[in-house]
Structure 1
Amino acid sequence: MAAVIHGAPITTFDLDTLVRVDQGNAQRLLQALSELDARYREHRTLLQPTQDDILAGGHMLLMTRAGPLDVLGFIGDGQRYENLKSASSEVDMNFGMLRVLNLDALIRQKKAMDRPKDRAVADLLEEVQRSRKEVR
């Protein structure tokens, strides 16, 4: 969603969220996931995430009543929430505030993921960045 917020002409089917991995946040996140009826997407049974899953700091690929949600403990080359918070800002999304990586940081992280789809998005974001500079 961050790429879309920055103006990249792409569609996305899930929401990726980088979370702070600590006890207090894990409890709040688990409550929110419970309210969304979150379940692991790739599990044959209806397995719900646990607080231990969140505290492990990995990736949880979930399905919720609102759609697919990827809860990530790190992105790119191992960057965690604490490392990237200063490279983000809050955006009002009409349903509440959402913290989004700035364009430079998002491009760096997409490149660091080194997957074809992320490289393609990084290229689109660089085009958005160039077009913004041309307008100025």
Structure 2
Amino acid sequence: MGPISHSQVEELRDALQRHSVQYLFIGKTGALLHGFPDTTQDADVFVHKTARNGQAAVNALQELGFELTPQQIAEIRRGKDFVQLKNGPFDVDLVFAPDGIERFEDAWRRGADIDGYPVCSIDDIIASKRASNRAKDRETLPRLRSFRDYLREPGRARHPRLPQLPARDQER
């Protein structure tokens, strides 16, 4: 598959929201939503690791046409650290425990609402890429840091913070 399109990310956002999934866009998808000039092959989604949320994510993905295997359903329900999905209309990486970020609740407090998309802060995106230490992330980090500096320039508009995270169930 080629790069994921903005309309596909919008479809994913809408399905996750219809099913009340608590999530943030992270990784390069999150950076793109901040305005980072690049492309990505998949949607990176940081999913809050709770019992209810895992099932809600399964429901949203199935609604979109993902043909989830029983193993993938079980992994999503239990919040396996990383679940890569290539069996749908586009590729999605579900991340329940991203490198460099301790707790979903903390990332949520630092996150932003960018045109209706819940997105990790650029600092959390950078921290996660730095902690993963993959070659492709090491290559991207200098450009991401430069982009963060651009976002912090005086006079640049800031994205609104996300609303308080509803207390539904406890983190696993």
Q: Smaller-chain TM-score range?
A: 0.7 to 0.9
Q: Distance in 2 between matches of 1:69 and 1:39?
A: 12
Letter in 1 for 2:108: K
Q: Distance in 2 between matches of 1:131 and 1:33?
A: 35
1:25-56 superposed Cα distances (whole Å, 9 cap, x missing partner): 1121111111123246xxxxxx2521x31214
Give the CA deviation at 1:66.
Answer: 3.0
Query: Which of 99, 114, 120 is matched with 1:101 structurally?
Result: 120
2:16 corresponds to: none
- Correspondence 1:21-32 to 2 at 5 A: 21-32=49-60
Letter in 2 for 1:30: V
Letter in 1 for 2:35: G
Question: Which structure is higher in strand share?
Answer: 1
1:18 corresponds to: 46
Q: Distance in 2 between matches of 1:103 and 1:59?
A: 20
Residues 1:74 and 2:97 aligned together? yes
TM-score w.r.t. the length of structure 2 is 0.63
Q: Distance in 2 between matches of 1:101 and 1:29?
A: 18
TM-score w.r.t. the length of structure 1 is 0.78
Q: Note the aligned Cα RMSD (angstroms).
A: 2.1
Q: Distance in 2 between matches of 1:116 and 1:84?
A: 24
Q: Distance in 2 between matches of 1:105 and 1:5?
A: 14
- In terms of mean alpha carbon deviation, does 71-80 or 29-38 score higher? 71-80
Unaligned runs of 5+ in 2: 1-28, 156-172
Query: Which of 136, 140, 150 is matched with 1:131 structurally?
Result: 150
